[in-house]
């Protein structure tokens, strides 16, 4: 009887480790960004979860400060997240991900 409890405990512990490992690997990967004119996009092609494009710009007139942020909608892997932005200098362009 005691051997069964130990075996069950080991199996449950192993199951918890597998669940934790799956949750940790859920974030999108192989992500790229692209800009064209006044549009920016992100695309992730591996993993699971969602991603979105994030853009922050600096106004062309000194002293005005930052413009944005411009943030695209959360999208699943394989679908592009797209946002419109200004024609200013880009100071931050990145992909945000969540599992």
pLDDT surpassing 80 at residue 89:
yes
Nearest-angstrom CA–CA distance, 17 and 20: 5
pLDDT tens profile 20-64:
344 445 799 999 999 999 999 999 999 999 999 999 999 999 899
Nearest-angstrom CA–CA distance, 24 and 1: 35
Q: What's the pLDDT score for residue 25?
A: 55
Nearest-angstrom CA–CA distance, 95 and 74: 10
Nearest-angstrom CA–CA distance, 54 and 38: 13
Q: Kindly report the length of the chain.
A: 99
Count CB neighbours of 74 within 10 A: 14
Dig out the tokens for 22 from the structure: 């799956």
| Measured CA distances, 92 to 12, 33, 75 (Å) | 44, 12, 20
Partners of 77 in beta bridges = none
């Amino acid at each position: 009887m005691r051997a069964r409890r130990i075996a069950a405990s080991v199996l449950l512990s192993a199951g918890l480790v597998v669940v934790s490992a799956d949750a940790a690997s859920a974030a999108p990967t192989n992500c790229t960004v692209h800009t064209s004119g006044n549009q920016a996009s992100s695309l992730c092609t591996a993993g699971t979860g969602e991603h979105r494009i994030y853009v922050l710009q600096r106004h062309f007139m000194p002293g005005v400060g930052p413009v944005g942020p411009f943030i695209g909608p959360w999208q699943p892997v394989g679908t592009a997240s797209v946002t419109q932005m200004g024609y200013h200098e880009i100071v931050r362009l990145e992909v945000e991900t969540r599992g």
